Structure 1
Amino acid sequence: MREETEREIISRQRTAGRREEAAGVSRESAGRSRNRSGSSRKPEAVPVRKENFVIQGTILAVAGIIVRLIGILYRVPMTNIIGDEGMGYYSTAFNVYNIMLILSSYSLPLAVSKMVAARLAKGQYRNMNRVLRAALVYATVVGGLACFITWNFASFFATTLFNTPFCVYALRTLAPTIWIMAYLGVLRGYFQGHGTMIPTAISQILEQVVNAIISVVAASVLFKVGLDTAKVYGKDGYAQAFGAAGGTIGTGSGAFAALLFVLVLFLLYRPTAKRRIAKDRSGSVDSYRQISRIFFFTVIPVIVSSGVYNINSVIDNGIMAHGMESLGRGKEFLALWGIYNNKYMLLVHVPLAMANSLSSSLIPSLSGAIARKDRKAAIEKTALAIRFAMLIAIPSAVGLTVLSAPVNNLLFRGGNNAEAIRMMMIGASAVIFLSLSTVTNAILQGLNRMNVPVRNALISLALHVIALYIMLMIFNMGIYSMVFASILFALFMCILNAIAIRNTLGYRQEMVKTFLLPAISAAFMGAAAYGVYRGVTLVIHSNVLGTLLAVLVAVAVYGVLLIKLHCIEEDEMYSMPMGRKLTRICRKLHLM
């Protein structure tokens, strides 16, 4: 039944694509259709609109980077308030929360956007409205079930699974947020299906701003309550646990604020939607059973793939907690786990915003090319997505390595950052492999090979667990077992995904411009950044000014080297955000 449903979807996409091409209004090539003049001939190239998914991805990437920067800023005072132990409870609770989120609502924006876009392209406004209703019913049932499980089984997760009983408070506080996120995912997907990422981007920023404010305030208040509770019961840990729960209150508050924002946008758009429904002359009305079936077969592969891909954090948490306890290092585990998740991984995930955003915008674009049997376009999009991701990931990894100490000391001023600095210097390469695995996952999903990332993730997870156990229990590498095992997981995914993409498309990865030249440019960039930082701090002894100047010099050096080494050609710059402006600047500086 699943294969028949997928063929039905692809058939409809092909039909819609042919109709759109004849009318000259294809959504994917909207920027080029102005040159068609009503003709079905191949249009002249308009470089600035060549790859719309890059532009759309950049919108989400900018929002994603802002969100992550806010996340860093508010976690600094939170860490100062509740300490690394409290952040350990916070991270443990979020491991369960993330899995529940994946099972309930993580796939909703993608599924809703694909189904809404397909019906919008064919003028089936009634069916588009039915998709929205079916998705809201799904969100109600699945989101409510995930909330129920998280609340009622919080003690099991905290005590039995993770051996951290005090994180039960943060877990129960997070439970309602899962239900809120399900509805938020549906409405975000609805607007994405209309071809705009702006509501999603703005709501993400709003969500994080509210989250930051409430988290810090609630963590501070509840930490004091926990101190009083500890005095009453004569047992330590309540202050850190209550403080972590305060941080998760902020998460729920941010999600609720974002839901209110997109709900207001939806209500403002509702009259327009009703007028479109009234004018619907498509003559096609899908039953709710049919829509629900298609929705189910769209959601499930994404859930399984994401679940397998992310469940390693839960498994890792359990292995590390019980393993460190058996090695007699249980007391130091929570603090190290908090540093790993809330300092090391927090910084690693900032440059990953571009890879995640590219993936969100790439899937529908690549699916359209496959539906039209345009293999050349699919290969071009694949190459561009991988290359663009590496242009960001490689210098980010180098920068985090050479500026590990300045960045950590700038952001996390309270306490000793020696472990966080060491983790970053050793494990910054995770940025490259995580970015590449994220983008290649999206490529396979866009190629309708939904099961392949699941299989690859299962294989990688098994190898990852074996490697983690050996490094922890045999070589006694402590938290660094986690650092290396995470890199290995992403590396295994990259290799397996690359093989699958080559077998599907016949695509062979270009190496020089995608990896070699960016690596050479990043190496000189890293040397320049480190030299500037050392020079500034020797003269004026300011870590803040030294770090900021080093970053600015790094960006300039890297950009100039990319152009001078012909890693980026002039015509390729037009495909990038603000490509024309960047080209004019480069010409004025005689770089081109």
Structure 2
Amino acid sequence: MSENNERGSFMKGAAILTAAGLAARVMGFGYRVILTRIIGAEGMGLYQMAYPIYTVLLVVSRSGIPVALAKLIADKIAAEKNREAYKIFRVARKMSFLVGLVVSIIMALSAKPLINLLSLDPRSYYAVLAISPAIFVVSIMASYRGFFQGLQDMVPTAKSQILEQFIRMFTMIGLVVFLVPYGLDYAAAGASFGAVSGASAGLLILLYIYAKRKENIFSFLQGGHDSVDLSTNNVVKRIVSLGVPITLGALVMPLMSLVDLVFVPNRLQAAGYMVREATALYGMFAAVAMPLVNFPTIITVSLSASLVPSIAEAFTLGKYKLINYRTQTALRLTVLISLPAAVGLFLLAEPLTEIIFAEPGAAVPLRFVAWGVFFIALQQTSTGILNGIGKTSIPARNLMIGAVFNGIINYTLTAIPGIGIRGAALGTTIGFAIAAFLNLYFVKKETSFVINSKTMILKPLFSVLLMGGFVKIFYNLLKNLMTINNLSYAYQISTFTTVAAAALFYFVVLLLLREIKYQDLSVIPIFGVRLANLLKKLGFLNG
């Protein structure tokens, strides 16, 4: 495979996952908007209380296995040890089944004690109970996703993501509408059960794809000339040695959410809020502000997933120049995408929260946590790079350090009446900033990666400053113009028109600064190649 094809394969994988992730996020955004309008911030607060418990236990059951699996299979395929790659998958699948089943049962049986221990709203019990079976299903699904990603085939994962979210969305909305007359606690439980139905659908399509391709998979993986020297115990040890640090790192993020869940409502009550007010404020932060912050990071999540097998392959083959290229490309795209997203959320916090969620009060925490988009994105991409070269313990440790700072800031500031929910948002932003910068230090140390300050700092900052000024001027002019003319939905139209115009303005600025590359556009599904060729013909791209 030529270097250009290798580069294209890496970017193509990321583009496929990004397209699927974007579709899934749009659907996820859609059901959150609908649910918030049906059950309000208080109901979303109850629904959201189940998730930190669920995600902590879910990480324990499955997070390390698919990433370790993708890396190990990519290593073996690169070394032409196809049979060993297949054995690794079979062992990992059994591990996922057993661990997922045990953890799912533990969550169901310990729902009430956990709620009491964490001093949560007792009404969240049914939501915690309803979501517990999803752990078992997601764990098995993760092993199949890791298998296909190890083969650097991102299509099965993409298909399962879309179907999972589609079924989840309809289940959640249907159950919430049916159960809301019986109380918010039952409605929140119905919303939580969507994770079970969605994961079941995602697993079924993966099993279907696997069965359909089984003959080709077997002929490829068993067609090598290598003998299987790996014992099951050795495979388990290797998966555990790689997977445990990854799990610990992945565990930090839901633990940060769990810290927020424990600290925020209680510390808000210490600041003078009643229980229902504290639950509603927590819902604004966790169920409105954070989904808006996490939405743009779908691209960096996809980059991270694609980076692990691609960098692992290059590392196994000793292609350090290719590692440097992939690192440079991933971090450059991370900065170019996440920085304007952070600025946009900061400047348009109030109209976005009001129009999308009908919760304008959520603009308060959103303005503080908006900058977390940039740091979360950097942390995710740099984690993928470090996991790809086998340094799985480094990002876990760095994220833990960030989580400690998040907890201290959260606990201290949220109880101050004049700060309140802003303290939780500020703690999240600073926690991820610390983790991101520590990761970047180790990426530079371990890969000899050299940061191009002109490409990765100066030009993006200049472009974002111009875009920020454009947003302020354009939004105010358009809103005033539409209001004067008494046009319907002036507020909504001016907001979303500004978002689209700002994105176009930023893209044009980057083109003029020669920061958009041919490869960046050509991997975009459907129209990417045509757009890249057109811009190259017009002289905006060098190729």
Does TM, normalized by the shorter one, top 0.5? yes
Which of 230, 234, 248 aligns to 1:304? It is 248
Whether 1:316 aligns to 2:260 is yes
Provide Cα deviations, 1:480-522, integer angstroms capped at 9, x if missing partner: 1110000000111122222222332333422222122122212
Aligned amino acid, residue 554 of structure 1: A
Aligned amino acid, residue 242 of structure 1: Y
Provide Cα deviations, 1:546-584, integer angstroms capped at 9, x if missing partner: 233222321221111112123335687668777653333
Q: Is the 8 A contact 1:433 1:491 kept in 2?
A: yes
Which of 1, 6, 19 aligns to 1:62? It is 19
Q: 1:291 maps to what in 2?
A: 235
In the TM superposition, what is the alpha-carbon distance from 1:251 to its structure 2 partner? 1.3
TM-align CA RMSD: 2.4
Which of 249, 263, 270 aligns to 2:207? It is 263
Whether 1:462 aligns to 2:404 is yes
Distance 1:276 1:566, change over 3 A: closer
Q: Is the 8 A contact 2:372 2:428 kept in 1?
A: yes
Distance 2:437 2:81 in 1: 41
Q: Is the 8 A contact 2:45 2:282 kept in 1?
A: yes
Unmatched segments (≥5 aa) in structure 1: 1-29, 33-44, 226-238
Distance 1:347 1:244 in 2: 20
Q: Is the 8 A contact 1:95 1:314 kept in 2?
A: yes
Listed as ranges, the matches of 1:560-579 within 5 Å are: 560-568=508-516
Secondary structure of residue in 2 paired with 1:351:
helix
Judge which range, 52-61 or 422-431, deviates more. 422-431
In the TM superposition, what is the alpha-carbon distance from 1:408 to its structure 2 partner? 2.5
Q: 1:230 maps to what in 2?
A: none
Which of 121, 139, 151 aligns to 2:108? It is 151
Aligned amino acid, residue 202 of structure 1: K
Q: 1:434 maps to what in 2?
A: 376
Distance 1:329 1:556, change over 3 A: same
Distance 1:366 1:434, change over 3 A: same
In the TM superposition, what is the alpha-carbon distance from 1:92 to its structure 2 partner? 1.1
Q: 1:489 maps to what in 2?
A: 431
In the TM superposition, what is the alpha-carbon distance from 1:253 to its structure 2 partner? 0.6
Distance 1:101 1:50, change over 3 A: same
Whether 1:581 aligns to 2:526 is no
In the TM superposition, what is the alpha-carbon distance from 1:52 to its structure 2 partner? 2.8
Unmatched segments (≥5 aa) in structure 2: none
In the TM superposition, what is the alpha-carbon distance from 1:198 to its structure 2 partner? 0.7
Q: Is the 8 A contact 2:33 2:356 kept in 1?
A: yes
Provide Cα deviations, 1:376-417, integer angstroms capped at 9, x if missing partner: 33333222211111110011112222232332233224xxx2
Distance 2:529 2:30 in 1: 33
In the TM superposition, what is the alpha-carbon distance from 1:204 to its structure 2 partner? 0.4
Whether 1:210 aligns to 2:167 is yes
Normalised by the length of structure 2, the TM-score is 0.92
Q: Is the 8 A contact 1:359 1:438 kept in 2?
A: yes
Distance 2:410 2:161 in 1: 34
Distance 2:76 2:535 in 1: 43
Q: Is the 8 A contact 1:530 1:550 kept in 2?
A: no
In the TM superposition, what is the alpha-carbon distance from 1:191 to its structure 2 partner? 1.7
Distance 1:328 1:422 in 2: 18
Distance 1:49 1:291, change over 3 A: closer
Q: 1:4 maps to what in 2?
A: none
Which of 504, 508, 528 aligns to 1:556? It is 504
Aligned amino acid, residue 139 of structure 2: A
Aligned amino acid, residue 345 of structure 2: L
In the TM superposition, what is the alpha-carbon distance from 1:179 to its structure 2 partner? 0.2
In the TM superposition, what is the alpha-carbon distance from 1:338 to its structure 2 partner? 0.9
In the TM superposition, what is the alpha-carbon distance from 1:73 to its structure 2 partner? 0.8
Distance 1:569 1:361 in 2: 19
Distance 1:358 1:277 in 2: 26
Distance 1:276 1:569 in 2: 35
Q: 1:473 maps to what in 2?
A: 415
Which of 138, 157, 166 aligns to 2:123? It is 166
Q: 1:445 maps to what in 2?
A: 387
Secondary structure of residue in 2 paired with 1:60:
helix
Q: 1:352 maps to what in 2?
A: 297
Judge which range, 469-478 or 438-447, deviates more. 469-478
Q: 2:452 maps to what in 1?
A: 510
In the TM superposition, what is the alpha-carbon distance from 1:87 to its structure 2 partner? 0.7
In the TM superposition, what is the alpha-carbon distance from 1:477 to its structure 2 partner? 1.7
In the TM superposition, what is the alpha-carbon distance from 1:476 to its structure 2 partner? 5.1
In the TM superposition, what is the alpha-carbon distance from 1:322 to its structure 2 partner? 2.4
Q: 1:375 maps to what in 2?
A: 320
Secondary structure of residue in 1 paired with 2:213:
helix
Distance 1:375 1:503 in 2: 14
Distance 2:40 2:306 in 1: 38
Q: 1:137 maps to what in 2?
A: 94
Distance 1:85 1:130, change over 3 A: same
Which of 141, 145, 150 aligns to 1:193? It is 150
Which of 196, 206, 214 aligns to 1:252? It is 196
Distance 1:117 1:50, change over 3 A: closer
Distance 1:325 1:536, change over 3 A: closer
Q: 1:75 maps to what in 2?
A: 32
In the TM superposition, what is the alpha-carbon distance from 1:276 to its structure 2 partner? 4.9
Distance 1:207 1:60, change over 3 A: same
Provide Cα deviations, 1:50-89, integer angstroms capped at 9, x if missing partner: 3532221121111112111111111122112222111111
Aligned amino acid, residue 215 of structure 2: P
Q: 1:106 maps to what in 2?
A: 63
Q: 1:242 maps to what in 2?
A: 186
Aligned amino acid, residue 72 of structure 2: M
Distance 1:371 1:475, change over 3 A: farther
Which of 283, 304, 309 aligns to 1:364? It is 309
Secondary structure of residue in 2 paired with 1:350:
helix
Aligned amino acid, residue 527 of structure 1: G
Distance 1:208 1:313 in 2: 21
In the TM superposition, what is the alpha-carbon distance from 1:325 to its structure 2 partner? 2.8
Whether 1:425 aligns to 2:347 is no
Q: Is the 8 A contact 2:242 2:392 kept in 1?
A: no
Which of 201, 221, 236 aligns to 2:178? It is 221
Q: 1:234 maps to what in 2?
A: none
In the TM superposition, what is the alpha-carbon distance from 1:192 to its structure 2 partner? 1.7
Q: Is the 8 A contact 1:204 1:258 kept in 2?
A: yes
Q: Is the 8 A contact 2:399 2:432 kept in 1?
A: no
Q: Is the 8 A contact 1:323 1:472 kept in 2?
A: yes
Q: Is the 8 A contact 1:427 1:487 kept in 2?
A: yes
Q: Is the 8 A contact 1:131 1:291 kept in 2?
A: yes
When Rg is computed on C-alpha atoms for both structures, the one with the higher figure is: 1
Secondary structure of residue in 2 paired with 1:329:
coil
In the TM superposition, what is the alpha-carbon distance from 1:465 to its structure 2 partner? 1.7
Distance 1:59 1:340, change over 3 A: same
Distance 1:366 1:49 in 2: 11
Which of 380, 384, 389 aligns to 2:329? It is 384
Provide Cα deviations, 1:184-209, integer angstroms capped at 9, x if missing partner: 11111222222210110111011111
Q: Is the 8 A contact 1:54 1:576 kept in 2?
A: no
